[in-house]
Structure 1
Amino acid sequence: MHGRLNSSLLNKYRIGCEFVKSRQFGTRMCLPASVSGRNNQQQKQRNLYLQSFPNHYLLHTTSQHLRAKMSTDANAKFKLTEIEGDLFTAPQTHSLAHCVGADFAMGAGIAVKFKQIYGQVDELLAQGVQSGGVAVLQDKDRYIYYLVTKPQSWDSPTYDSLRSSLTAMREHMRKHKVQKLAIPRIGCGIDGLEWDKVSNELCTVFGGEELEIVVYNFVPK
């Protein structure tokens, strides 16, 4: 009995430490499958773990500091980190991604810079990708992903279309063994989606992957 109690307390302590780490270092965490709920009993145990934390503690470890999502793979090492900086200074080891309309007009926001740097609009159009898909260009050893989240550039994306595009990108990344990705706050800004919800979608789609995503927030000096 004492062994089981000690084990339960240790599990709570380990989860608490992961919460604190993710808050301190700006990393959004997907909880491992060992505490995720592969069945109802495990889900109940996880809920008990979370309920054991003081309310004020949970309050300060949510919102911008944490997205607690379940990983679908106990061995997955997914990490979502936000930093200040220019996306286009990301290392060549990181592929890039951003959101566009299916017309690939790219006339506003960060899409303008992608168009200036990578061009090949005719190649992107020739791929015939519709809303909910992803178009891809290759830049040396990395890929440039165009998440097509709306039919036209003046339309608005939805969380469903974003999720579908992210899933399509995930499949390409799996096939080509892409494990590092740099992005802006996709779908936010002029597209109008909320970053809290978008980051949740990222954890949902990629939580089972061995992948590092770095979110670049450009802050003019």
Structure 2
Amino acid sequence: MFGRCNFALLNKYSIVCKTFYKPHLSTAAHLSADSAALGKSRQPHKLLILPPSTTSSQAPFHITTAQQLRQNMSADSKFKLTEVEGDLFSAPETHSLAHCVGADFAMGAGIAVKFKQIYGQVDQLRAQGVQSGGVAVLQDKERYIYYLVTKPQSWGSPTYDSLRASLVAMREHMRKNNVHKLAIPRIGCGIDGLEWDKVSAELCKVFDSEELEIVVYNFVPK
């Protein structure tokens, strides 16, 4: 009798396990496996950071990438900023010109020397009384020559703030006179010591909403 009771209880336990515990345990196991797989799929992707290029003829990787991003940001706007190799003074007369100077208009070094030789009128520039953060202007036939005053003296150094202020002053003149094409060197760089990557970013910030084409001429001696 005792053996029959134990056998009945064993059968009952087996039936309960098959009908209730086993399916739940199986479902839990599947959920656990799915969660583990999902967790693996949700692991963050690793970001591959490339080192700057060491090739002298190419811009560093981070600069090139920044330029590409700015071009993409401006793709839907009317503002375009491009760079070419060539002599700035060979730019079409449809393009106005701009470069950086000190408020004393000494123009004794860098590309400013060439502007002084070609366009002169230094006394007229000084008579405009423009201080750092402003812009002096000469007219050459149908185009304008912009002198971005980015520092008090020619031997000094500009800042990004003074450059930005001069760019804004030039933008206001360009708006009033319907100037839509501009040719420039890498303003503020070279002997002035600013970084072109940051300067070009300032150009995009100041002119991004303008209907304007800016061509940057990089003179490369042959």
TM-score by length of 2: 0.70
Tell me the amino acid that sits aligned with residue 200 of structure 1. Answer: A
Secondary structure of 2:182's counterpart equals strand
1:66 positional shift = 3.6
- Write the distance in 2 (CA, Å) between the matches of 1:181 and 1:214: 6
The answer to whether the aligner puts 1:63 opposite 2:66 as a matched pair is yes
Q: Which stretches of structure 1, 4 residues or longer, exceed 3 Å deviation after superposition?
A: 54-61, 63-66, 68-71
Q: Which position in structure 2 is the counterpart of 1:99?
A: 100
Q: Which position in structure 1 is the counterpart of 2:7?
A: none
Point out where structure 2 has 5 or more consecutive residues left out of the alignment: 1-46, 51-60
- Write the distance in 1 (CA, Å) between the matches of 2:172 and 2:187: 18
TM-score by length of 1: 0.70
Aligned-residue sequence identity (percent) comes to 83
Q: Which position in structure 2 is the counterpart of 1:219?
A: 220
- Write the distance in 2 (CA, Å) between the matches of 1:170 and 1:153: 23
Q: Which position in structure 2 is the counterpart of 1:110?
A: 111
Q: Which position in structure 2 is the counterpart of 1:151?
A: 152
Larger Cα-atom Rg: 2
1:55 positional shift = 6.1
Change (3 A) 1:183 1:61: closer
- Write the distance in 2 (CA, Å) between the matches of 1:84 and 1:193: 20
Encode CA deviations 1:174-200: one digit per residue, 9 max, x unaligned: 000000000000000000000000000
Where in structure 2 are the equivalents of 1:29-44 lying within 5 Å? Answer: none
- Write the distance in 2 (CA, Å) between the matches of 1:77 and 1:100: 28
Kept in 1, the 8 Å contact 2:107–2:116? The answer is yes
Q: Which position in structure 1 is the counterpart of 2:121?
A: 120
Q: CA RMSD in A?
A: 2.4
- Write the distance in 1 (CA, Å) between the matches of 2:49 and 2:71: 16
Tell me the amino acid that sits aligned with residue 148 of structure 1. Answer: V
Secondary structure of 2:220's counterpart equals coil
Q: Which position in structure 2 is the counterpart of 1:137?
A: 138
- Write the distance in 1 (CA, Å) between the matches of 2:63 and 2:142: 40
